[in-house]
Amino acid sequence: MYAIRRIGTKLRFANNVRQKHTLPDLPYEYSALEPVISREIMSLHHSKHHATYVNNLNAAEEKLAQAQAKAADTNATLSLMSAINFNGGGHVNHSIFWQNLSDIQTVITLAPALKFNGGGHINHTIFWQNLSPKGGKPSDALVQAIEKDFGSMENMKNQLAASSVGVQGSGWGWLGFNKLTKKLVIQTCQNQDPLEATTGLVPLFGIDVWEHAYYLQYKNVRADYVKAIFDVANWQDISSRYEKALK
């Protein structure tokens, strides 16, 4: 039994050793994107909303690690059951089965929290990098791809804006890249669903259309916010993401 406990301890230790997610620093001041996005919105959006996703993601992953560790203990114990006689083994195996079932249910229960908060962390980390007070210009390679797939830069902006404004409730509008077809694609995601994990598209440029991203400044006129955000789009970052996606 000492061997069983020792194996279980090692497995628990291995599952629990992980890096916690942290709130990324912004590459600019909260006021840097004014007048497109106010300092107040940026401060709340980054230090409160994004921070909450990070904290909740860490909490969910901690619970997941605990459930996985218990399930790993079960597997280690079962591998040693040949040393136990049939009747005693039957009792132990069934006891372990019910415990393992509970651990599996815990993992399933945590899935929505992991998707929501993990997606929120991923989406916002990209979003901050997608923005810049200087804006800039897209690379020649990205411009050529946009013109090939949308006809013109203006057409792409109009389509992305229309899709983003049209999101029902909360969500995101994305310019993504399909690695299979080698084409740029406009896609929307509900809530905090991460683009790549849910659609397979590589995220290049995201527009957050949750109300917390614009309501204090633009009130209920989402279209004005979406139109203005192109003025602070970090085309250097977007171009870099496109070039990496091509590899």
The length of the chain, given as a count of residues: 247
Any idea which residue has 């690379």 for tokens?
139
77 residue type, one letter = T
CA neighbor of 237 nearest in space, from 190, 172, 175: 175
Tokens of 186: 């406009």
Cite the annotated binding site for Mn(2+) by residue number. 45, 124, 208, 212
Question: Which residue reads 């995101």 in tokens?
Answer: 172
DSSP assignment of 108-147 equals HHHHHHHHHHHHHHHHHHHHHHHB-TT-----HHHHHHHH
Do β-strands 171-178 and 202-208 pair in parallel, antiparallel, or remain unpaired? antiparallel
Annotated binding site, which residues?
Answer: 45, 124, 208, 212
Helix %, strand %, coil % of the chain (to 5): 65, 10, 25
Element of type H or E holding 189: strand 183-190
Give the whole-angstrom CA distance, residue 156 versus residue 177: 13
The SS3 call for residue 233 is strand
Instruction: State the DSSP code for 184.
Output: E
Residue 185 · residue 172 · CB < 8 Å: no
